[in-house]
Structure 1
Amino acid sequence: MSADTRPAQSPSKYDRLIAAARAASPAPTIVVHPCDETSLRGAVESAQAGIIAPVLVGPASKIRETAARFSVDISGYEIVDAAHSDAAAAKGVELIHAARGELLMKGSLHTDELMRAVTAKVGGLRTDRRISHVFVMDVPAYAETIFVTDAAINIFPDLDAKRDIIQNAIDLYTQTGFGKLPRIAILSAVETVTSKIPSTIEAAALCKMADRGQITGGLLDGPLAFDNAIDPEAARIKGIKSDVAGRAQILVVPDLEAGNMLAKNLAYFAKADGAGIVLGARVPVVLTSRADSPRARMASCAVAALYANARRLKTPTIAA
């Protein structure tokens, strides 16, 4: 997701992220139904950058026709034929089970089609962890790389789902080397606990769950309103004394609607790029949008590749 109007050569947090991914081994990646220019070119450019090693899954004739029409060289990449988008999603999951790929990447099919195959009870890629989505956002006006979760998968997550959503984000943050012990703000409309706003009660419960070891690897605080989660002066004015307030690195939203609006506001008002990745499945899933800038699309691949590489090596791959 992007509304990037900055010059193409302007420095960004994503530049460092992409450089780190280039320094690691290319991640074998199953690209599902890359049958339009954007998805096919995005996969090929990420491969040319040394970030992924793609296998293209979908109608072979349509993939080759798209490549020819838009002058995308796919001569060096394997194509696995699948009749249509649903078949491509199923085949992509099958190839993951066959250990042909460490990442799954969305092409020009609908997100629902891909996630239906990923979440299938029989033959899917489910684990014991709840599947969730993270936007890794480069906001020019903010010093930190910001994670926003969950803004794409879980519509109204309950307390147990939010526990997994937070743990997924912490694991991504730490295992790809953004840093240790990330600061997590659990967002609501206000920073005080009130029975009138259920998300404030859940935020307080999640903080206590972290105290009891049910969530590990991060510093949690909540409820926090958006302003005092990311602005030290706003936190000071409200009298909030916290290691998280004003300095959050992971923003946990109450529900998908709030997360989607927050992420799009950052994209269109703050000119942020947003790389998207799905976690909690057997492999990371790269979700991209037709509106993504080339840099955001490559950053999505870079985040997923670094995470896959870290999981393989069990060591961080990017300096904080």
Structure 2
Amino acid sequence: MITRLDELVKVAQKQATMKLAVAAAQDEDVLKSVAQAQDLGIIEAILVGDEDKIKEIAQSMNIDLTKFTIIHKPDLMESALEAVELVSSGKADFVMKGILDTAILLKAVLNKEVGLRTESLLSHVMVYETNSYHKLLFLTDGGMNIQPSLEEKKAILANSIIAAKALGILEVKASCLAAKEKVSEKMQATVDGAALKKLAQEGYFGQGVVVEGPIAFDLAVSKEAAEIKGYKSPVIGETDIMLVPTIEVGNGIGKALTYMGNAKSAGVIMGAKAPVVLVSRADSAETKLYSIALGSVIAANQ
């Protein structure tokens, strides 16, 4: 089981080299992380975008472009479609967002002709490493689905379980977050959490999956808090996945971990035929590298 993001990079190095298509690659941090991932042997990159800008940025950063394939598509929508089609046609294994709006890339991913759509819902999965927790923490969905229904939460949780198992977690422990542990019709998160727990007990999410819900954040990550409150569950202090009730909760927890907890992170979109590496423009080159490694390991396992 991978417990640190540097370990994830090492695993990505040991497996078969994955081919990555980058949409709108004309960005300093994107090119830096892609070049680093290629130097580490994690990927072979296909850079789709404005060739002149890519070359200009690469030259300013002393990046040797002779080892990359470059496809000139200066239009953002065209670059997204080209990058996605490279994956759907089997010429690449996964795709990464460059310097373009997320909506443009997702429109290409969901394109009926060349896209990567499946019957599953698309959802965002962030993976965090923090010194205050003993293993990686998967957080979903703080980036795409605003106020998911129970049916959508089922898909979101299923997507994150695939990601967790790709990282070698044999028994995945998931916590469905809410403000309290007792079910109340006035709090939909508690109702949905209990329903998801029951589904897991019935085998809906497959073998090796334990789901607890509803459960508050402190009990999910702290055995001490659970002991004080007299709460018992297999997930306490051992949670792998945190399923949040709304995008605001996920966004808030994620940014608190990053900016107050100095957490390292990686992010992908799940639910398509291949992982989509999706990072913020504000994310560092390190975060982008970790996200590439995450996408490559998931792609290799799919």
TM category, shorter: over 0.9
The one of 76, 94, 99 aligned to 1:103:
94
How far apart, CA to CA, are the structure 2 residues paired with 1:37 and 1:304? 20
The answer to whether 1:200 aligns with 2:190 is yes
How far apart, CA to CA, are the structure 2 residues paired with 1:191 and 1:45? 45
The one of 201, 210, 213 aligned to 1:211:
201
How far did 1:189 drift?
1.2
How far did 1:122 drift?
4.3
Q: Which residue of 2 aligns with 1:117?
A: 108
How far did 1:212 drift?
2.1
Q: Which residue of 2 aligns with 1:63?
A: 54
Contact 2:30–2:285 (8 Å) recurs in 1: no
How far apart, CA to CA, are the structure 1 residues paired with 2:284 and 2:133? 19
Q: Which residue of 2 aligns with 1:134?
A: 125
Paired residue total: 299
Residue identity over aligned pairs, in percent, reads 36
How far did 1:140 drift?
1.3
Contact 2:21–2:47 (8 Å) recurs in 1: yes
SS class of match (1:267): helix
The one of 170, 181, 203 aligned to 1:180:
170
SS class of match (2:80): helix
Q: Which residue of 1 aligns with 2:289?
A: 298
Q: Which residue of 2 aligns with 1:148?
A: 139
Partner AA of 2:141 in structure 1: D
Matches within 5 A, 1:150-169: 150-169=141-160
Q: Normalized against structure 1, the TM-score is what?
A: 0.90
SS class of match (1:63): helix
Q: Which residue of 1 aligns with 2:235?
A: 244
Q: Which moved more, 1:218-227 or 1:123-132?
A: 123-132
Contact 1:224–1:245 (8 Å) recurs in 2: no
Contact 1:188–1:223 (8 Å) recurs in 2: yes
How far did 1:116 drift?
1.5
Contact 1:14–1:295 (8 Å) recurs in 2: no
Q: Which residue of 1 aligns with 2:260?
A: 269
Q: Normalized against structure 2, the TM-score is what?
A: 0.95
Unaligned runs of 5+ in 2: none
Unaligned runs of 5+ in 1: 1-11, 312-320
Partner AA of 1:191 in structure 2: E
The one of 208, 231, 244 aligned to 1:253:
244
How far apart, CA to CA, are the structure 2 residues paired with 1:207 and 1:84? 46
Q: Which residue of 2 aligns with 1:3?
A: none
SS class of match (1:50): coil
Aligned-residue RMSD, C-alpha: 1.4
What do residues 137-189 of structure 1 show as CA deviations (whole Å, max 9, x unaligned)?
A: 10111101100001111111111111111111111111231x21111000011
